[in-house]
Structure 1
């Protein structure tokens, strides 16, 4: 009687230095880094001083407040990159 054992496999993944997400293909990761919300060079909402993160409501029945921009940019459709109003977060 033989026992089948699993075969170890080494896989290379590429990881974003800003948000820690991984991709199998290097070009896909390079493209991600260029638009990563946590990359200051992408001038995105999450690295901007005008970004207000979402907040929980004061009690369970209250839906809370969504993320917003103090420069009146609409974030309802998603966060922005290469924003002309971007300023580095403190």
Structure 2
């Protein structure tokens, strides 16, 4: 559950940052959302490392923005196929 929340926050904050950059580029938005995105990104990495021993899944967490979603997908596939994490 925490990984799912962190993955959603990572993607949502990245989308807000890109939308701000593409439109009005208000510095206060970047100042507020940037650190939130960074924290969500780090949470995804830490939670992925704690959740699995798979190197591929851990490396997927390093992809900014969608890494958390990729990790969730890989973990679901590992569980479906009965692989040990």
Higher relative contact order (CA 8 A, sep 6+): 2
Settle same-fold status: TM greater than 0.5: no
**Range into which the TM-score falls when normalised by the shorter chain:** under 0.3
If the length of structure 1 is used for normalisation, what is the TM-score?
0.26
Higher alpha-carbon Rg: 1
